[in-house]
Structure 1
Amino acid sequence: MPTTQTHIALTETADSATAGAELGQAIRAAFNGMPADAVIVFASAQHDYDALLQALANEAGTQVIAGSSSAGEFTNSGRGEGQVSALGIRNSDMKFAVGLGQGVSENAQTAARQLVEGFRGIGSSAPNHHSALVMTDALAGHTDALVEELTLQTQGDYRFFGGGAGDDGQFQATHVFAGARSYNNAVSALEILSTKPIGIGVSHGWEPASDGMRVTEAQGTHLIGLNGAPALEAIREYARSTGQELDTSDPLPFFLHNVLGIRSAGGYRLRVPLSIGENGSIQCAAAVPEGSVVHIMKTDAQSAVRAAQQATESALRALAGNKPAAALVFDCVATRLRLGRAFENELQACANLLEPAGFVGCNTYGQIARAEGQFGGFHNCTAVVCVLPE
């Protein structure tokens, strides 16, 4: 008999307290009136997060809640924007705890230290599989440093998955959830201690389309110089040579199809350009390290589907023979915007591989993955899949 009970829920209800109550009631009913051990929730920026979370906690019977605001919500049976998706979990062989770190923009190291103070498995070997869902305010920056610091703070014993909170593509203010409250400029986590392995997979499906270019000047997410010239000059020359239109007054349509890939030993870590700044600089969704080599990357809709399949297959293999109970799926808001309705094909590819298990997920501002044998760290335009065992 499976030891993991899960329930997947999605609501379009606009009133936040009502939406939270609906989700909590559905989860509790699925568990025959018993409270959930933990709930993971993703909510559109249209919601009053605290009202939603408090109602959810009351009805689901738990304060062990984590998640974030999002930029598109989905399950294996539906997707949309302006919704709330949730996963309720009960498992006597898993232990859960919520962590919270604040002030990410001021000091990522301190925020990571605060986060792991809520963990119960640090330095412990039982249960022997240590993982955590990590959701961060990506607009606060420093996500690469945050993931590295979390690895140090947990002595490399934890496997991380998750992403950057969204706000329906507005890029104004994003929030993470810890317990029945929401927080800005913060990072939250759901620690999962398990006697069985939890599967994590990551894949993006993009390949280099340009020669490598040295990042000669960068400040965080601002890409200033490539090969000694303003970054925009290299982007404009690539657009001209490939016959693409780059409207500098509205560059996002071009950027969504021509992201940057930072070359590394493990592959290409993607960064989405968002806008053009002063003196030909490019504002990116995440940091581009000075001195690194980047390529302009290309992909197509079929590659995105293959990437979702590969990430799901990797996560399933990591279960070491256990059957899947439910999964969490994350992909970039840029992927949804680029693919449009075809994004549903990517979700369907995940659903086909996971059946009869389902999944909950959202579109994020960047994705987090750190696990054995995976290309780890902070990504853009990348599918990240986590599978919980039965």
Structure 2
Amino acid sequence: MSTDRWVSVGVASADDDLAAATARAVERARAGRQAALVLVMARWDLDLGAVAAGASEAAAGAAVAGTSTGTAFARGGQQAADVVVTVIGGLGVSARTGASTASDAHARGVEAVSVCGDSQRAHSTVLLLPTGTDGQQQAMVRGAYSVLGPAVPLIGGGSDGDIAGRVSWQLHGREVIENGLVAVRLDSDRPLGVGIGHGLARTGEPMVVTDSEGLRVRGLDGRPALDAYLERLGVQGGVELDAGTLDAGALAPLGFAHPLALVRRRREEVRTIVGMDIAERSLEFVSEVPPGSMVSVMSGDQDDMLAGAVRACADAVARLGGGEVAGMIVFSCIARRELLSHEGRLGEARAALSAAAGPEVVLNYSCGEIARVSGAAGCHNQTVVALAL
């Protein structure tokens, strides 16, 4: 284990008194040591106030931050739990938190990271825990970037919750906030590692978004977006373009299997398709696709997705600069969970993460992933992002 920082993971069950069980999980993970941060991932339909109270009671002065989730795994992804706590400490690391419930996503990013203050050590990374329900994560990232600048990497994942009701929750100390943002500034005496991977590959030539507004794309290369998208897939899509034969239910799985991606200078940023309007011939996304963007249709099988997860972990470790890995926090998209579950390969995916990251690794399935190591962008879908500590 690293001598300048340590990571320990604990779990709690909803079958017990939730506040007491969460406190015990934190105490066991802390093991009498002074912690810098207690990071909580709790099932969204639980009493999150009790979870926050229990974590704060046992934190012994450490910062407490957290997110609502549908699925979280501890210990190399081998143990599902109602509440997963990740406790980070050591003389070489410190943490400060901030939160915002501003209605404007850009303002949320500015406010939350501003409260965290400036770096106090040689290396900093900011962990962002935003709502996963509003489709505005890129605006939030731009707000955070406007304060932090290019030198501070970003990492995180959107809170899962009541998706139909468009509500998710974040934990900030003893407070539970709704559809907001919690930011954690981790300062360290040696590097922290951020890794990104999806395993998907481009299908055909890129296209230009010629008509879009918010989460809806109406035009690609000057043509109806749905037509251009399906034609690009060709026989892979297995769908005739005649409007009379199209069925929205039959098309729905295509959006997960073949997302679009914004083509950036260094990498693609995947955007999941969550709806296809047959009458309007448009595509609906979970994250913003700005007009004028260059996009590619993406494809990949389960083996490709597993390889992408391993790559994210390996890249995170590589950015530690040769330092020993104390632990890892991994965010993976809920769309990836659905795609891998069809082939019964979720266990294999968790085992791959465990092999790549070691025993003290936490896996959370998120609604949108955040990772920025270069440039001002950093919002991803159907991607695995990893923070190596």
The alignment's TM-score, normalised by the length of structure 1, stands at 0.89
- Once the two structures are aligned, what percentage of the paired residues are identical? 24
Unaligned runs of 5+ in 2: 240-245
My pick for the range that moved more, 59-68 or 212-221, is 59-68
Aligned to 2:90: 91
Change in Cα spacing, 1:117 to 1:376, as seen in structure 2 (3 Å) is closer
Residues 175-324 of structure 1 mapped to structure 2, 5 A cutoff: 175-238=169-232, 241-245=235-239, 247-249=247-249, 251-277=251-277, 279-324=280-325
Output the CA distance in 1 between the equivalents of 2:153 and 2:94: 15
Output the CA distance in 2 between the equivalents of 1:214 and 1:220: 16
Aligned to 1:108: 105
Output the CA distance in 2 between the equivalents of 1:168 and 1:314: 33
Matched, 1:360 2:362: yes
8 Å contact from structure 2 (residues 40, 65) kept in 1: yes
Matched, 1:68 2:67: yes
Change in Cα spacing, 1:387 to 1:371, as seen in structure 2 (3 Å) is same
Matched, 1:118 2:115: yes
User: Helix, strand or coil for the counterpart of 1:38?
Assistant: strand
Structure 1 residue 228: deviation in Å?
2.5
Output the CA distance in 1 between the equivalents of 2:54 and 2:386: 28
The residue identity in structure 1 corresponding to 2:272 is V
Output the CA distance in 1 between the equivalents of 2:74 and 2:80: 12
Structure 1 residue 31: deviation in Å?
3.2
The residue identity in structure 1 corresponding to 2:347 is E
Task: Give per-residue Cα distances to partners, 1:69-126, cap 9 Å, x unaligned.
Answer: 12321123445777222201222221111111222xx423322221123213x2x5x4
User: Helix, strand or coil for the counterpart of 1:191?
Assistant: strand
Change in Cα spacing, 1:80 to 1:365, as seen in structure 2 (3 Å) is farther
Change in Cα spacing, 1:168 to 1:256, as seen in structure 2 (3 Å) is farther
Output the CA distance in 1 between the equivalents of 2:254 and 2:66: 31
8 Å contact from structure 1 (residues 76, 348) kept in 2: no
Matched, 1:385 2:386: yes
Pairs aligned (count) = 379
Change in Cα spacing, 1:91 to 1:82, as seen in structure 2 (3 Å) is closer
The alignment's TM-score, normalised by the length of structure 2, stands at 0.89
CA RMSD of aligned residues (A): 2.4
The residue identity in structure 2 corresponding to 1:319 is L
Residues 123-162 of structure 1 mapped to structure 2, 5 A cutoff: 124=119, 126-162=120-156
Output the CA distance in 1 between the equivalents of 2:74 and 2:81: 14
User: Helix, strand or coil for the counterpart of 1:291?
Assistant: coil
Change in Cα spacing, 1:183 to 1:35, as seen in structure 2 (3 Å) is same
Output the CA distance in 2 between the equivalents of 1:8 and 1:168: 26
Output the CA distance in 1 between the equivalents of 2:298 and 2:210: 19
Output the CA distance in 2 between the equivalents of 1:174 and 1:21: 23
